[in-house]
Amino acid sequence: MSVAIVTDSGSDLPAELIRELGILVVPLTIRFGDEEFVDGVDLTPSQFWARCAKSERLPETAAPSPGAFRAAFERAGAAGADGAVCINLSGALSATIEAARAGAAAVASDIDVRVVDSRSITLGEGLMAVAAARLAKLGKGLDDIAGEVSDLAGRTRFFGAMSTLENLRRGGRIGAAAATFGSLLSFKPVITIVNGAVEADSRQRTRARSLRYLVDKLKAHAPLDQVGIVHGDAVDLAEFLAMVAEVIPREAVVLGDLGPVVGTHAGPGAIGVTFRLPREAST
């Protein structure tokens, strides 16, 4: 059985991995006032951050239409796939997965689609799509791949060092963390994803300490077979990568640019790390 892997552009996957593994990416849209852009098509991450620097208002993001997912599933079927696994942004944070489910229902008579909630964001989601695509290349079936992705969703961890929580607060994505950090915006906060939602994890007095905190998270769970790092135009990225190299070789790290979908809420300078726990450690 041939299985196609579909995800959304909130996964922030590097273009070379998308091409290598044949992953289909359905883009979200971004609006700056009256101007609308298709993520990754009309607007690159670098262009996004340049616009943010000049804009007084936060941009807005919108989920793809069900028709966009339907078209992706139809392309997969036309290319010879018997089924598709679609991995999406956390349903607790985005309506994207609902659009994917509606698109899957629309093609149910033509191609079998399994939609899986990553319960994560950016490369946390993206590395699940990578794992799924590698299983598909090995000839694994639809049930096996969808089951593995569901398992990965429970074992994936994501932590992000933010320059500020203001974007998350203004965008309504901070959830319970707002109560914890509402009066502590002078600190450098670290967020995490718990059950698909954004939660406060730590507050550090300096940027250097917040980055060291991320590295300590990696050390606490070493050895790690793969780590994903994503950044939003962070000027101290090279310094952070050197710190991560203390824990895991650079070649084992997937590096991604934080795009508009999550970047709108994370703000400039954000750095995130994602990894997955061993099966026995996640129970």
pLDDT at 173: 55
pTM of the model: 0.92
Structure tokens, 48: 């996004």
- Cα–Cα dist 101/29, whole Å: 18
- Cα–Cα dist 21/137, whole Å: 8
DSSP 82: S
DSSP 202: E
DSSP 157: E
> How much is the average pLDDT of 122-138?
98
Q: Is the pLDDT reported for residue 226 higher than 90? A: no
pLDDT at 155: 95
pLDDT at 203: 87
pLDDT tens for 145-200 read 999 999 999 999 999 998 766 666 555 555 544 545 544 556 888 999 999 999 98
- Cα–Cα dist 111/125, whole Å: 23
- Cα–Cα dist 209/205, whole Å: 7
Q: What percent of the chain has pLDDT over 70?
A: 91
pLDDT tens for 26-82 read 999 999 999 999 999 999 999 999 998 888 888 999 999 999 999 999 999 999 999
pLDDT at 124: 98
Q: Tally the residues of the chain.
A: 283
Q: Which residue has the tokens 């790390």?
A: 273
Mean pLDDT, rounded, of the chain: 91
DSSP 189: E
Closest to 28 measured CA to CA, from 231, 196, 263 = 263
Residue type, 156: T
More confident residue, 164 or 257: 257
